[in-house]
Amino acid sequence: MENNKKELERMKELAGILRDASRAYYQEDREIMSNFEYDRLYEELQELEKKTGTVLAGSPTVTVGYEAVDELPKERHETPMLSLDKTKDVEVLRSFLGDQKTLISWKLDGLTVVLTYREGKLEKAVTRGNGEVGEVITNNARVFRNIPLNIPYKGELVLRGEAVISYRDFERINEEIEDADARYKNPRNLCSGSVRQLNNEITAARNVRFYAFALVQARGVDFDNSREQQFRWLAEQGFDVVEYRVAYRDTLDDVIRYFADRIAGFDIPSDGLVALYDDIAYGDSLGRTAKFPRNSFAFKWKDELRETRLLEIEWSASRTGLINPVAVFEPVELEGTTVSRASVHNLSILKSLKLGIGDRITVYKANMIIPQIAENLTCSGNLKIPETCPVCGGATKINGVNGVETLYCTNPDCQAKKIKSFTLFVSRDAMNIDGLSEATLEKLIARGFIHSFADIFRLKEHRQEIVEMEGLGEKSFENLMNSIDRARNTTLPRLIYGLGISNIGSANAKMICRAFGYDLNRIRHAGAEEMSLIDGIGPVIAGTFADYFSSGKNQAALDDLLGELTIEIPAAETGPGLLEGKTFVITGSLEHYANRNEMKAVIEEQGGKVTGSVSAKTDYLINNDASSGSSKNRKARELGIPVITEEEFLSMVQKDN
């Protein structure tokens, strides 16, 4: 069994490596391994799949086509899916254990799915639904990240598990949704929507994972009357099984403590634990009530309540103009950490709690993670709803939708609504400031610390407030300040690109700076006609560029920003214009340059252009493996485009030195 486990782990590792290589090659126009290495790993994966009889979902050896359906058909479960009886009292759980060996596992917070395999192939996947009838989602289950499509067992297998989306993927997906109101409230909601998509291409992009927690049927297999043996057997078939620990009455406290110590850093949503008798016959003999099976029991985390005093309500503005109330209270210890803030979510909740400054409140961590207000013991209700936005000072208004009241900023120019421009300004090709993610920027802007680009370089003035913000701290603050200080020394193309002028990308910014001899004064006062004379800058781009600098407000903001920066003046360019009008494509690994961006910068400084794919407009393909059979090399040869090595490129740009 140990060998089988190692083989399955190696298969998962190989599938991940090969997927990354394919994504880099076909979607990102870059190669992270040779064709020889890819083929070698692919063949190793094929051999392991043949040996184990298991093929995992997402394996590069199989192609699961994306498919859209008009609706999800309904299907009745052969065996009703009951809820679990539950408790928050450890002694009640201990009483349930009695003298039985029991498996304690995570109670995952996602969507329960029933899988059926026949002849070793995934035949059907159905959601829990109402316990009696679920929706058929077979098409979507095939693109879950970790479900095996083929297994060694050839009989009929029915099992249950939880489809989940990790907190990491939840945050990534939410960050891609610009409208804050449209974001998902929690990973469970996102998972439910992802699993039930009509187009499984959307499901595939959500990184849904499946963790088995119950074997319903596998005829002809002897499990020695043990649920633990069932779990081990499912793992041998290629399934990820929910993590569990064996517990008895006298070891229950240690097992619960093991899970409690891990919940804060656990990346998969969980709202408690499940206790399941290991003895299959004993558990089945107990039968069930009308609502619950008697062989298992749920343990919900007991909320640790602390009483504290409300100090203030902080009004946090978002990019959509939504202004959310955040409660700030005297710090208390909860679940091993100090907390002093909790989101109140909206005006309706704030009003229902009758919050007021100085009120005595009780707070807890929902699922031992998210700080929440449980109760207001004073109920003074003396809060005033702000009439102006905390970020821009613009007028606010209250919106009511479906009985829920929310507060909005009405100013279209509110800085909180311009989060994207600040995100671009700190990005790698602009000012390159590490530590200022979009989420962090949103927090800082919402607190009123950032109103302009220049304010980013003055964040040190708000040190105390920032280190106390959730998700930051002393170390993060120091790293951020170091990154900001490094960004003070920058180049003119980075600055021009970072301003976020419409239609001005990194390459255009470099062309403009080169055309005006890196003279910012000339650049900022150039008219549209003069700008359009630059090769590669058409009338539309020239017009938007000139319009940006025709604004006195933008000019003043730039002057303020320049007071925080040192602009590096480039040395005389080597062989000016050597690559003028030439278009290059870079592929494969590099030896003389740290990465492709570094080589790209050299090409652009010499007047050239870099694109991602080979076409009739390409002048040179740069590839150190000039004889390889890669798709780019083949395309270049078909079009008669020279394939040159890095050494040949260096000779080209240095020949006039």
Residues that constitute the known binding site? 83-84, 128, 162, 300, 389, 392, 409, 414
Q: Are 269 and 109 contacting, i.e. CB atoms less than 8 angstroms apart?
A: yes
Q: Which residues pair with 112 in a beta bridge?
A: 162
Known binding positions for NAD(+): 83-84, 128, 162, 300
State how far the Cα of 81 lies from the Cα of 130, in Å rounded to an integer. Answer: 8
Is 107 annotated in the active site? Answer: yes
Residue type at 325 in one-letter notation: P
CA 264, 266, 270, 273 torsion-angle sign: negative
- 120-139-236 Cα angle (round to 5): 30
State how far the Cα of 139 lies from the Cα of 130, in Å rounded to an integer. Answer: 21
Task: Rounding to the nearest 10 degrees, give the CA dihedral for residues 22, 27, 32, 36.
Answer: 40
Q: Are 139 and 200 contacting, i.e. CB atoms less than 8 angstroms apart?
A: yes
**Token pair in block for residue 281:** 């016959």
Known binding positions for Zn(2+): 389, 392, 409, 414
- Beta sheet of 244-247, edge-to-edge order: 86-87, 296-300, 270-277, 102-108, 244-247
Q: Are 593 and 599 contacting, i.e. CB atoms less than 8 angstroms apart?
A: yes
Report which DSSP code applies to 611.
E
CA 529, 604, 573, 434 torsion-angle sign: positive
State how far the Cα of 418 lies from the Cα of 512, in Å rounded to an integer. Answer: 25
Give φ, ψ of 125 to 5 degrees.
-135, 130
CA 196, 201, 206, 209 torsion-angle sign: positive
Q: Which residues pair with 490 in a beta bridge?
A: 567
In terms of Cα–Cα distance, which of 311, 305, 374, 298 is closest to 335?
Answer: 305
Q: Which residues of 96-127 are buried (b: 16+ CB within 10 A; e: fewer)?
A: bbeebebbbbbbbbbbbbbbbbeebebeebbb
Question: Residues in the chain, how many?
Answer: 657
Q: Give Cβ neighbours of residue 504 (< 8 Å, ≥ 6 apart).
A: 496, 497, 512, 541, 544, 545
- The catalytic residue among 107, 510, 609, 632 is 107
Residue type at 350 in one-letter notation: L
Report which DSSP code applies to 70.
S
Catalytically active residues are: 107
